[in-house]
């Protein structure tokens, strides 16, 4: 059985790579996922997706603002994924939640669910989604996904527990159409030890001619500062001379100029930020290259990113780790195949017994109109 797969807010294709690599065998039958169409507004991300996920059908990736996307022009699908923009839900930033520019964009995933009626969906966002607008935003999103006709299972995945060499925590919501008598079970973490960042970057070594592997030119000042920072420390916790310190109040637990600890998973790779946020090697006095960051995100070395160096950094930092996504997709396939697998109880509870009020719906529509004027 092959599930036709559509994706909104697709980014460079981390989630999609996990999907197309997922497969399950049961009683002589194969269960898999195939790309049908995808959408994103960022041109570099779309080109990266085309080259790596669907090189033989580049027109299946529609580079357009989701509000201008004609759903009726897209082919039918059995499964939908949408990692809706997390800018307003991240714990890093202004935390505007549903009151921000991007917060209401999840509603286009709900529209797609109502239009296509896929058998199942995979929605993703940052852990900060739970606390946005005092928890009301998350509850609203869960309710709307549920009332679109799906039995939902939200869970906060800690991807370092799933063989990803990075402390990356994301809320994944799996929904199965309510008329299908299948219940999704959260896959259990791996029993093997955490994969370290040293293993990720050195086993095997990155080829000198690997794509997206240009080094950042570090200033003499930054190089000197890094010499005082030990593995696992940042510029605030290390014994750095006063002349090399950064005077930022309340940031002593920051990841600014933080070196990796080679014996642990990496800290979270991000897609944006100024100096000191590029992730720093544990031994060499430099920031990681984009290819090294891609390895921490479990992208294979033959996955080539399009765009400028900063654009590639953003694409890598915003993506879902393909290896973690594949684990979850294979759990979904196993549920449909009737295959047992180690599982755990979800760590987020939801009762689908309320309907968002009309005032909330009006607020969302008004925010969408504000976003339209800002684009």
* 335 has catalytic annotation: no
User: Measuring CA to CA, how many Å separate 120 from each of 6, 13, 189?
Assistant: 11, 19, 22
CB neighbours of residue 281 within 10 Å: 18
Q: Report the SS3 class of residue 8.
A: strand
- Contacts of residue 259, Cβ cutoff 8 Å, sequence gap at least 6: 226, 229, 230, 231, 232, 233, 234, 280, 281, 282
Using a 10 angstrom Cβ sphere, with 0-12 exposed, 13-18 middle and 19 or more buried, the burial of residue 372 is: exposed
CA distances from 331 to 32, 155, 328, 340 (A): 11, 13, 5, 9
Q: Which two tokens stand for residue 115?
A: 């239009």
Question: The tokens of 89 are what?
Answer: 């839900």
List C-alpha distances in Å: 41 to 205, 273, 365. 34, 21, 20
**Residue 236 and residue 245: Cα distance in Å, rounded?**
8
8 Å CB contact between 341 and 31 = no
Contacts of residue 84, Cβ cutoff 8 Å, sequence gap at least 6: 8, 9, 102, 105, 106, 108, 109, 123, 124, 125
Distance of CA 228 to the CA centre of its chain: 33
CA-to-CA distance for 198 and 108, rounded, in angstroms? Answer: 40
- Residues 10, 46, 54, 86: which is the catalytic one? 86
Q: How far apart are CA 194 and CA 38, in angstroms?
A: 32
CB-CB neighbours of 155 under 10 Å: 19
Burial class (CB in 10 A: 0-12, 13-18, 19+), 375: exposed
d(CA 24, CA 61): 26
* Catalytic residue numbers, as ranges: 86
């Amino acid at each position: 059985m092959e599930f036709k797969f559509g994706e909104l807010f697709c980014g460079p294709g981390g989630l999609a790579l996990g999907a197309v690599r997922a497969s399950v065998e049961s009683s002589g039958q194969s269960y898999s996922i195939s790309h049908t169409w995808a959408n994103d507004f960022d041109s570099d991300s779309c080109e990266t997706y085309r080259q790596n996920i669907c090189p033989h059908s580049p027109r299946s990736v529609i580079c357009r603002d989701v509000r201008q996307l004609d759903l009726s022009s897209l082919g039918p699908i059995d499964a939908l994924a949408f990692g809706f923009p997390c800018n307003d839900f991240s714990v890093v930033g202004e935390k505007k939640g549903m009151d921000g520019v991007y917060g209401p964009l999840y509603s286009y995933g709900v529209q797609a669910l109502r239009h296509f009626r896929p058998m199942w969906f995979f929605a993703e966002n940052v852990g900060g989604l739970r606390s946005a607008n005092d928890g009301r935003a998350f509850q609203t999103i869960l309710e709307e996904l549920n009332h679109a006709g799906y039995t939902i299972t939200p869970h906060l995945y800690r991807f370092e527990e799933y063989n990803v060499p990075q402390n990356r925590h994301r809320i994944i919501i799996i929904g199965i159409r309510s008329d299908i008598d299948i219940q999704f079970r959260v896959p259990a973490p791996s029993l093997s030890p955490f994969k370290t960042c040293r293993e990720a970057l050195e086993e095997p070594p990155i080829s000198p001619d690997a794509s997206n592997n240009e080094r950042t030119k570090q200033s003499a000042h930054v190089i000197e500062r890094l010499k005082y920072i030990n593995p696992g420390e940042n510029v605030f916790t290390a014994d750095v001379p006063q002349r090399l310190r950064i005077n930022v109040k309340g940031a002593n637990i920051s990841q600014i100029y933080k070196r990796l600890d080679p014996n642990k998973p990496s800290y979270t790779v991000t897609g944006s930020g100024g100096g000191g946020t590029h992730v720093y090697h544990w031994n060499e006095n430099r920031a990681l290259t984009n290819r090294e960051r891609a390895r921490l995100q479990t992208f294979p070395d033959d996955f080539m990113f399009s765009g400028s160096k900063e654009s590639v950094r953003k694409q890598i930092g915003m993506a879902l780790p393909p290896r973690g996504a594949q684990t979850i997709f294979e759990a979904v396939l196993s549920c449909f195949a009737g295959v047992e697998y180690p599982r755990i109880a979800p760590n987020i509870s939801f009762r689908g017994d309320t309907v968002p009020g009309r005032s909330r719906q009006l607020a969302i529509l008004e925010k969408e109109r504000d976003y339209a004027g800002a684009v």
